[in-house]
Amino acid sequence: MESPPSFDLWARHRGTSLTDAVKWTMKLRSCSLADAMRYVLPVRNREHGWVQLYFDLGWLEAQEFLSAPLPDFVEPGSAVLLDHDSYTTPERCRGRCDAHRIYLYREGGSCPVCDGDYMLTTRGGFRTAVRTSRRY
């Protein structure tokens, strides 16, 4: 049985330099400069202005981060969620659930929250899922 989807939070970068985003990522992920640059600087991010702020979030954590102040290096109000399994940026997504502000990578894909099949929380190393979908 596959794991239900978790969520990634992305926002539009403000300005041309990604230095602040790299520093912020190093601190958040406790990673090296090289790893932070690998997370923040892919060509696809620079071309379209998206920066991945958080990844592999449960629905509860995603809602907390959406309502919290964003880092200064991103545009206010630009935060969106992606299905974690999409491994892409928001502009490459083919669908969106406006009710839950989730971008969906697969064309014709359905919203995991509407379907009742999603990761509720990933806090504390425990992963708690919601599975009300008839698929299981």
69 is a domain residue: yes
1 is a domain residue: no
Using DSSP's 3-state secondary structure scheme, residue 54 falls into strand
2 is a domain residue: no
> Residue 129: beta bridge partners?
119
pLDDT for 13 equals 87
84 is a domain residue: yes
Cα distances (Å, whole numbers) of residue 24 to 21, 52, 53, 103, 123: 5, 11, 9, 24, 20
Spatial strand order of the sheet with 50-57 comes to 50-57, 7-12, 80-83, 102-104, 95-97
Structure tokens at 126: 């425990």
In this structure, what are the phi and psi dihedrals at residue 91, rounded to the nearest 5 degrees? -70, -15
Range of the domain at 23: 7-131
In this structure, what are the phi and psi dihedrals at residue 38, rounded to the nearest 5 degrees? -65, -35
39 is a domain residue: yes
pLDDT for 55 equals 87
22 is a domain residue: yes
- Over the chain (136 residues), the average pLDDT of each successive run of 10 is 82 83 91 89 70 90 92 91 78 86 79 88 79 58
pLDDT for 43 equals 55
118 is a domain residue: yes
136 is a domain residue: no
pLDDT for 107 equals 67
Domain count, the chain: 1
